[in-house]
Every structure is written in C-alpha cells, then in structure tokens.
Chain A
Amino acid sequence: MTTPSSPYITPSASTNRLMLNVIIALVPGSIAYIWFFGVGLIVNLIFAIGFALLFETAILLLRKRPLKPYLTDYSAIVTAWLFALCIPMHSPWWLIAVGIGFAMIAGKHLYGGLGFNPFNPAMVGYVVLLISFPVEMTTWYLPLQISADSLNIVQAFSYTLGLVDIQQWDALTSATPLDQYKTSLGLNMMISEIKQSPVFGDFAGVGWEWIANWWFIGGLYLIFTKTIRWHIPVMVILGMLIFSVSFYIVDPDSVASPGFQLFSGGLMLGAFFIATDPVTASTTVKGRLIYGFMIGALIFVIRRWGGYPDGVAFAVLLANMSVPLIDYYTQPRVFGVNPPEDH
C-alpha cells in the first residue's frame, strides 16, 4: 500500500522484544538449574537451539519464506529453551533432534508457522518424546548437592554425543521427587515416610524448589514488562491450589502438600512461561481465566490420578485444544450491544 492509512503511530512494542523478554526471564531460573543440576543444561540448550534454528531454516527454505525476519524473531529460541528445560539432562543428541524436529516441523510450520499453531510447539515435541522414549525421558539426575559426582562440560558434551560409556554415571541418576511420590504412593507409603528420601528439601524437591522460585521471579518480570498478563499464571496456580488444598485437608497422608505441588516439576515454569504462550492461549480475559484454571486443575488431576508423575505438558495441550471453544464462548460484550439496563 503506497498510501498508508491512519493511525500513523508506530507501536513501541514488538514481537521480537516480547520474545527477548521471555528469554531474559528464563535466564535466572536456568542459572539456578545449572547450579543445582550441573552443566548438562548448557549442553541441552546448545543442542536444542542449534537444532531448532536448523529445522526452522530448512523448513523456511522449503516454504520459500524469507529467512531473516523469522530467524531473528527469537521464537525458535524460546521454543528450544523451554524444550531444553523440560527434557532430562544428558539426553542423547538424537533425542533432542527428534523432539525439536517434531516441535518445529509438526508443531509449528505444518500449521503455517508462528501465529498459526494451535499447540505449544515445545510441549508437542516434549510429549512426543515422553510417549515414544519413556526410558530416556525418565532418566533424571540427582542434584549436585546430594550427588556423589557430577559431569563437567566436556563430559556432558561427550555423553550427549554418545562418545563415552554411560555406565559409570548410572549411579548419579534418580527418580524426580514427583516420580518418587507417585511410585511410593503406589506402594501405599505415607507422605511422612516418602519425605524421608534425600531428594526432598524444605517443602519440595532439593534444587527443584529453588528453581521454581526463580521461574516465579522471572514470571513477575514478564508481568511487570507486560510481556504476559497476570490472568493465566494466577489461575494456573489458583487451579492447582484449590484442588491440592481441598484434597490435602481431607487426606494429608496420601496427598502431597500444596506447597510441594506448586514448587515441584514444571508447574511454575508452565504457569508463567508455557501456558502463557500467546499464540496457543485464550485471548479473551474471561477465557484466560478459564484456560489458566483448567491447566492448574488438570495438572493436579494428572499428577494424582494419571499415569505420569507430572502433567504440565498434557494439561497445556488439552487446554490448547479447548481454546477455540473457550474463546468463542467468552467474547466480551461489545460496547453498545445489549447494554445493561441500568448504568
């Protein structure tokens, strides 16, 4: 259009900036992650981001789209970063490639690219791995603080590339706190007994609780910079709280405490960074409240009754699926359309 029409004001915000804000907000939590679980995350990040950019470039070339605007919008990096945080450390490179490949190609570009994907690409990639490679996806490592040994960056790289024998580090692996809960509860153990395990810290898993704290702080930064709105994270937490508190009150022996629930697994990360992905979330105010609450509630349901120790990814994908319906039924009342009688 040669003659642009009004308005002639260029917005100060940009999608690139929003994505960059997300990355900035992810940094403190990621540092905490490395502090507690070692440099494996760095390797994860390098591989995930590398593969993400590779797949993005390849598919952009196939789709005959310009590379620069899409590669520099940081969206692939955000997806890769979130994905790297979800999978266990010291995962083999091919696992990362398959997951990221699925995320970028099936999860994003087959739908038309950024803005058109109904499902959170990182979660699509993660869930594909979770279902297809259960062994690799449940091999977690102990926090350094209670671990006998740890891998340095070179070892981690070699490990991921499959250059070294993995046997010698098998002793470092352990179930996650959420996993232990699930298994132990299945063995009819009491909460108090389960909590004897060294993986439990003050109110959640050792390390995990602090990382979750940092996700929370990063999330506050996102709200403060108006990158995200408060509705979804607050409702995710509220949804989880309402369910976990009421069940905890009734049966504190076999239900984990609400504090544990909030600061374990992917809840905080999910609430502030994953559920808030604007493309796949609800866009109306009421819709966001419902959507957030739905995710919080589903996480509890999956953790308590589902087959998986954590349920963030499934909860988010299920909620993604409901977005068109939620959005349709939560349209705001348009000004002047059926105005209320009194004012």
Chain B
Amino acid sequence: MADSVYKFHGGLHLDEHKAESLTQPLQVASLADEIIIRVSQHIGEPNTPVIETGDTVKRGQLLAESSAFVSAPVHASTSGTIKAIEERAIAHASGQKAECFILIPDGKDEVFEQPENSYQKNDLQKSDLLAMIRLAGIVGLGGAVFPTAAKLTTAIKHGIKTLIINGAECEPYITCDDVLMQNNAADIFKGITYLQTILQPEQTIIGIEDNKPAAIQAMQQALADTSLANTRVTSIPTLYPSGGEKQLIKLLTGLEVHSSQLSFEIGILCQNVGTCAAIAKAIDECQPLTSRIVTVTGPGVNNPGNWLTPLGTPVSHLIQLAGGYKVKQPKLIMGGPMMGLTLESDQIPVVKATNTILVLDHLDQPEVNECIRCGSCTEVCPVQLLPQQLYWYSKTHQFDLTESYHLFDCIECGCCSAVCPSHIPLVQYYRHAKGEIWQQRKNTYKSDRARKRHEFREARIARQKQLDEERRQQKREALAKKKAAEQATKATQSDNSPAGQTVDAVQAALERVKARKKAQQVDPKNTSNLTDEQQRQIDEANARRNKTTADDA
C-alpha cells in the first residue's frame, strides 16, 4: 500500500476500546418478543404506513413508504402480526417519540415473496439498479441515513470521478463495519460493483483505518478475487475523525470539499461499507434492508460483541444477548462515545442508523471551569475552527459572530470537548447556537413573509383607494363639465331665443309624454265591461270594506 495518504488538521488519538467487542465472532440475534419498527428511518420526507393494525406480514414486506424523491421505504424485519401503530420512544436528542409499527413475531420468520419484477438479472441497467436500491429502502448506514437511491441519482447528474468506500470506522468502541468487512468482504465488493455500474467512476478507493488489519486483509483478498479495475484498498492512519466524509475525502484524494458544497459537486461520492453490502443483498437476493450488524459494547455490558440484528429489535433484547448489564446505573448510548445519542431507556428500537449500543457506567459530570483560552481545542479541531471563540460567542448569545467564525462548518465530532481541560461541553454550546440560529432564521422568514404580506395588503388597499379616488375625481370632473356645458347651453339659449319659445318647447315635450302615456294606459281588465249585477256587487264589497276600515278605526 504505497498509496499516498494526505492529512487533515487536528484530530485525536483516542483509546480505541475496539478489542472488547471483537472477542466473540459475529452472531445472529434471536427474535425479540416485540419488534418496534419506526415508520420513517431516513433523512427526508416522512413515510406513510401501507399496512394496518391487525395485518399479518412477512419478512421483507413493505410497511411504509413515501412517494417523495428523498425517502426510503420501511419493511417488516420478520413475519408476524402488526399489533399496533403507535407512538414509541425513539433515539432522539431530546427524547422524542415517533410513529412505530409494533410487530409481534410469529417465530417462523417467513420471507415475503417480492412481487415479480421485470428486471433481467443478467442485464441490469442503471435505472433498474437505482429502482431496486430505492425499493429495498437502503439508506446510508454510516449514520447519516440519507436515502441511497436519491444520493446516487443526484450524484449521477454531477458525474462521479472518484467513488470512496468508507470503512474507516474511526469512533472508539464501534466494530460493526470491521466485523462486516471481515465476514462479508465479498458482498461489499458486489455492492461496489453495482455502484460502479451506476456511477462509472474513474477510480474507487476503499479507506480503512490501520487499526483494523484483519479487515484490510479480508478486503484486499476479496478485491483480488474480483476483477475490479481502478479499485484499491487504502489503509489510513488511525486518527479520529478520519471517517468524517470530508476528512476521508481529504485523506484519500487530497481534495478539500468546499464548506458550502456537497462532495459529489466535486465529483466524489462516499458510501459506507455497510451500505454496499445492503445494496448487494437488495439486488442479488431481492431482499430489502431489514437487518444490520450492531455492536453491543462498553464497560456496562458483560459480553460485548456484534449481532446481526433485525431492525426494530429493542435495545433491551440486545443487552440480554450481550449478557446483561454489568453496572448498576448503565448509561445507554446509540452510536459511539464521540457522536452518539443518549438513550432514555432500553425500550428504544434498533433503526437503520444504529451501528452501536454503547453501555457506559453512569456518567460523572466533571466539574466545569471557566475557559482559560488554552487553545487545546484549536489544535484538535479537524475543521480548524477556533472553538474557544465559538464557545465565547455562543455563551454570550452573539450568534451572528458565531456564524462569522464558521459555526456551521462544525461537524460536531467532539474533539474539542474531549480535550478541554475546563471540561466545558463545547459541542452542546454549538448545537444550541445552531438551533438558535435556525430558529431565528425561521422566525425571520416567517416575520419577513408576514411583513411582506402586510405591506402588500397595505399597498393594495392604498392602490384601490387611489383608483377609487381617481374614478371619483373623473366623475366629478365629468359632472362639472356637463354642468358647465348645460349652463353654457342654457346661457346660449336664453341669450339667443325668446323665453316663451323655450317654455313652449318644454310644454310641447310634456304634452307629448302625456299623450304617449295615455295611449299606453290600459284599463284594468277585470273592471271593464262589467254587467250591472257585477258592478253592484263590487260596489257593495267596497262599501263593506270601507265600513270595516271605519270600525277598526
């Protein structure tokens, strides 16, 4: 491996803690009594359930989907009955709940017969592959859970020169990708082959941290077994966060993705090794993404290891498989110790993004001191930010200044917090500042829109008023003109002709009208041509009526 590897700024050598979960081989997790499958497990538009409570489903059967471009369907991870579709606690920074299918497994784990598709296995076109990846509900398994088909479709438009396969797995404790590479290297390369068919890259680089020699060897062996051209496995130095997308790109290509750009805009696409294996399964076996390898590890469990886990398995079940808790106050984290999420309980299910369940002993919150501007954070920041300045401005709510110090380039890797001698939870401050700024932007957007609407309305009313006024003005003017004209005519008439003549003319006109009216006047039909008898009756009736009226009065 004489491939040149570039460097990124900063980074940290962390205690790896990888050996713990590598002591036992990969196992297949048993079925839990209850499987909790989140309706939406990707970044993008939410899914809508297509299965109802009480339905029986089989493994691989579609449960929920969305027609949106950026979405990924969700499938049943085993056969059984949908007991309910309800809100359950999920892995979320603020302990939110989300809609989940509650699947009671029947224990048979029957496979759903995927509907016949028209794809010719031997001659799959780009569009066929993309469609299959989409239908299989594949998302980025490195943790971003961005729908893979959407990512690939967008990437094709930009043209991909370099395909990077991320096997860095730089966070401590996590070993699921390591185990996957050791056990399923061939599958990964099948997936890579499909990706190459789709993207037609000039080169493909698989980056693996050098603390995983077994994985590197397995991958090189698998690569040798395929006939992939312009593809290489590159060992990169172990330095957190080498697995960050932009960091890995820098390491492997020397290219720096602009802060406002996405990697495919400079012709590079990254995919996680787990995603590659899932793609292979989706295309070769027509099996959607219903399981993944999860590392269960940490000082808080008895037998750390890796389990091929059906999605939706509650964390408590995995903990049982790992020999139960070893500590009295376990602290559950989904993901690694640097970027993982705290779990409120162990009833939270495994989702597509779950690479690790880390069980720590209860966290002693170290005493937080004032920042002494020692600059340790600056040295380790992989984005070369000035974390102490960001902290200062975040703390004092000078959010505009945090932005000018590039707050939004922060990848929240946690290096700064991990070295801070004053034990300041720096990343929390940055997350808070980002949240505040987003909220402010939202509010600004809203108030801007409201203000624009208001201004538009005001303008419209003013315009209407003006128009009305103009119209009235015109009318007034017209009236005034008419009057003036009439008076002028009158004046002319009175000047030019004798008064009697005018009166005669008017009189004549009146006479004419009267005559016309008289001619038009028609006698009421029911009172003409009456017999005497009839006339008498009418007269009597009139007399009666008059009398009654008089009485009433």
What residues make up the interface of A, taking CB atoms closer than 8 Å to B? 1, 3-11, 13-18, 69, 73, 113-116, 229, 278-279, 281, 283-285, 327, 331-337, 339-340, 343
Contacts and interface: CB of A to CB of B under 8 A. Distances in A.
Interface in B372-411: 372-376, 378, 382-386, 388-389, 405-406, 409
B370 A10 contact: no
A214 B93 CA distance: 52
B143 to A, nearest CB: 12
Contacts of B250: 335
Given A69-B367, A278-B374, A343 B406 contact: no
A122 to B, nearest CB: 15
Interface of B: 6, 8-9, 14, 93-95, 172, 246, 250, 253-261, 331, 333, 335, 337-342, 344, 358, 360, 363-367, 369-376, 378, 382-386, 388-389, 405-406, 409, 412, 414, 417-423, 425, 427-428, 431
- Of A5, A17, A332, which is in contact with the most chain B CB atoms at under 10 Å from its CB? A5
Given A278-B374, A336-B409, A7 B95 contact: no
B254 A343 contact: yes
A69 B389 CA distance: 24
Contacts of A116: 370
A8 B340 contact: yes
Contact of B421 (A13, A114, A336, A343): A13
24 contacts: A3-B93, A4-B365, A5-B93, A5-B425, A5-B427, A5-B428, A6-B333, A6-B337, A6-B414, A9-B14, A9-B338, A15-B421, A115-B371, A115-B372, A229-B375, A278-B374, A279-B372, A283-B389, A327-B389, A332-B386, A334-B383, A334-B409, A336-B256, A343-B256
B338 A10 contact: no
B258 A278 contact: no
A13 B261 CA distance: 36
A5 B331 CA distance: 12
Contacts of B384: 332-335
Given A1-B428, A332-B386, A337-B406, 12 more contacts: A5-B93, A6-B340, A6-B342, A8-B338, A8-B340, A14-B423, A114-B370, A283-B378, A284-B375, A334-B384, A334-B385, A336-B259
The B interface, classified by DSSP as helix, strand, loop or mixed, is: loop
Nearest to B360: A8
Contacts of A229: 375
A69 B422 CA distance: 12
A335 B375 contact: no
Contact of A7 (B378, B382, B422, B427): B427
A9 B414 contact: yes
B459 to A, nearest CB: 41
Nearest to A7: B414
A65 B441 CA distance: 36
B337 A335 contact: no
A16 B370 CA distance: 11
Given A7-B337, A283-B386, A278 B364 contact: no
B90 to A, nearest CB: 14
Contacts, number: 159
Contacts of B363: 4, 8
Contact of B337 (A8, A18, A278, A283): A8
Given A69-B367, A113-B370, A7 B383 contact: no
- Of A15, A327, A335, A339, which is in contact with the most chain B CB atoms at under 10 Å from its CB? A335
B258 to A, nearest CB: 5
A73 B369 contact: yes
A335 B376 CA distance: 18
A3 B420 CA distance: 20
- Of A1, A7, A327, which is in contact with the most chain B CB atoms at under 10 Å from its CB? A7
A69 B371 CA distance: 14
Nearest to A228: B374
Contact of B406 (A16, A73, A113, A334): A334
B386 to A, nearest CB: 6
A3 B95 contact: yes
A7 B421 contact: no
B121 to A, nearest CB: 42
Contacts of B425: 1, 4-5
Contacts of A113: 370
Contacts of B389: 283, 327
Given A4-B363, A11-B418, A278-B374, A339 B369 contact: no
A185 B520 CA distance: 137
A159 to B, nearest CB: 36
Nearest to A277: B372
Contact of B372 (A3, A114, A336): A114
A334 B423 CA distance: 24
A69 B335 CA distance: 33
A18 B421 contact: yes
Given A7-B414, A8-B331, A14 B388 contact: no
A1 B93 CA distance: 12
Contacts of A4: 342, 363, 365, 425, 428
Nearest to A343: B254
B409 A15 contact: no
A105 to B, nearest CB: 17
B239 to A, nearest CB: 14
A250 B306 CA distance: 73
Contacts of B360: 8
- Of B250, B255, B358, B372, which is in contact with the most chain A CB atoms at under 10 Å from its CB? B372
A21 to B, nearest CB: 11
B318 to A, nearest CB: 19
A8 B172 CA distance: 11
Nearest to A75: B372
B383 A336 contact: yes
B372 A6 contact: no
Contacts of B358: 8
Contact of B386 (A69, A284, A337, A343): A284
B212 to A, nearest CB: 21
Contacts of A3: 93-95, 342, 344
B372 A278 contact: yes
A335 B417 contact: no
Contacts of B423: 10-11, 14
Contacts of B341: 5-6
A8 B335 CA distance: 11
- Of A3, A11, A332, A343, which is in contact with the most chain B CB atoms at under 10 Å from its CB? A11
A340 B6 CA distance: 15
Contacts of A18: 372, 374, 421
Nearest to A3: B342
Contacts of B339: 6-7
A201 B409 CA distance: 56
B325 to A, nearest CB: 17
Contacts of B417: 7, 9, 11
Contact of A14 (B93, B260, B365, B421): B421
Given A8-B331, A335-B8, A343 B255 contact: yes
Contacts of B378: 283-285, 332
B340 A331 contact: no
B369 to A, nearest CB: 5
A7 B430 CA distance: 13
A3 B366 CA distance: 14
Nearest to B331: A8
A116 B419 CA distance: 20
A335 B422 contact: no
A1 B339 CA distance: 17
List the 8 shortest-distance A-B pairs measured between CB atoms, nearest first.
Answer: A7-B414, A115-B370, A336-B259, A339-B256, A343-B254, A13-B421, A278-B374, A335-B383
Nearest to B387: A283
Contacts of A69: 367, 369
A192 to B, nearest CB: 45
Contacts of B172: 9
